Structure 1
Amino acid sequence: MKPIAADKINSQQGKPFPDPFRHKLEKCHWRRLSAPFNLSALAANMETIEPGGQSSLRHWHSHSDEFIYIISGELILVTDEGRFTMTQGMCMGFAAGDNNAHHMLNDSEQSAVYLAVGSCHPNDQVEYPDDDICWRQQDGQWQAFNKQGKPYK
């Protein structure tokens, strides 16, 4: 293995959410930094959020920790406690099982870049209190369900 430049890792636009949620995440581009190294217990993504975009739907993880670090730009962190401005060099962590749902918005006129790092727990579930969706792992694969337990296609 050799070190690689992050900008050489393929960028993906949007997030792999089913309709009707996908359009909310179209202004997010991300690179799965941990993928080329076949890491299984840690996920690291570098994400760029365009003006007017958001990182995800507001969510929390049952079994995986999350950590974010702002590389450039300005983002608004939205949690159950309110809205907080995050700028270059600021960071925040979210402990597994803490149901304080969060996401980030780009209300500025410039793109913002941040690093997102999280643990990969095989029993992790992701809850979205504001939206009719949750993610569960089945047979090692993530599957989106509505809150009544019906899978999205």
Structure 2
Amino acid sequence: MKLYYAPGACSMGIHILLEEVGAPFELAKLDLKGGEQRRAPFSDVNPKGKVPTLVRDDGSVLTEYPAIALYLARAHPAANLLPATDEAMIRATEAIDFCVSTIHMQGFSRTARPDNFAPNAADHGAVKARGQEIMEKGFAILDRRLAALDWIAGDYSLADSA
């Protein structure tokens, strides 16, 4: 398998899961600030221009964090990354979606790439500040959940790498 990633991006969680399952893989680093994700050869692999992107051993491509995480957990059952109960799976899915759509995309993205949210450089400080607020609130929500548990879904699972 081959993981396309960017340092500091949410692709780090997929890298963690790849290590957890113990499957052989290679890494392909992308320079997002330099726009490498929008040019060939990567745009030929993933026209969405996003990381994480996983090329499986059969050459098929998976994109989007939740889909890749679920694939890795199901393809490697010995790693015990899937929660054991329906309720735990629902909570794991809820946490992954929250991390990806809120903390990563609304919070971290604003702090790392304010130009994607406001073309005027004068507005970038406010965009970054809002991103920081979103991340802090998101982490506080996760902290409250983890106050009663060791892991997001009770036991360690695919949700804990998000």
Q: Which has the larger radius of gyration?
A: 2
Q: What is the TM-score normalised by the length of structure 2?
A: 0.24
Q: What is the TM-score normalised by the length of structure 1?
A: 0.25
Please state which structure has a larger fraction of its residues in strand. 1
Please state which structure has a larger fraction of its residues in helix. 2
